[in-house]
Amino acid sequence: MTFKIRMGLPEMAEFWADLSVRKQQGGLDRDEEKFFKKLVKALAFLSQNPRHPGLASHEIDDLTRRHGIKIFQSYLENNTPSAGRLFWAYGPDAGDITILAIEPHPEDQKRGAYQRIKLSALPAATPGKKPRN
């Protein structure tokens, strides 16, 4: 099954729109270009198989409890502990994955590191489409 990747509102949607436009216009610096390439690759893996080994996806219990929906974390790059992380959830519609945040890896999980992560909101479900349960 292929998943449709959506961006959380408003932060992730604005971030993605800005990054995409600047990429098309050739306005990314070298570090942003590297980041964009990693992000696009991770999103492609996520859309094809959220359990892809390179993503090392797993549920984050602290965020799941706090937000009342299952929140997952995936690597932007494999075998790099300090690499950025994608935080995402299934939904709002069946077959959707919504990116809720992109953050550096929370280094100190024992001191409430996941408490500091701010997640975007899920977009509204599409009228007439089956919602994610």
Residue 125 lies inside a defined structural domain of this protein: no
- pLDDT of the residue at 133: 65
For residue range 82-122, what is the model confidence (pLDDT) as tens digits? 678 999 999 999 999 999 999 876 665 556 678 788 999 99
Residue 123 lies inside a defined structural domain of this protein: no
Instruction: Indicate left, alpha or beta for 100 from its phi (over 0: left) and psi (-120 to 50: alpha).
Output: alpha
Residue 131 lies inside a defined structural domain of this protein: no
For residue range 25-78, what is the model confidence (pLDDT) as tens digits? 999 999 999 999 999 999 999 999 999 999 999 999 999 999 999 999 999 987
Q: What is the CATH number of the domain that holds 49?
A: 3.30.2310.20
- pLDDT of the residue at 18: 97
Half-sphere exposure of 118 (CA within 13 A, CB side): 4
**Number of domains forming the structure of the chain:** 1
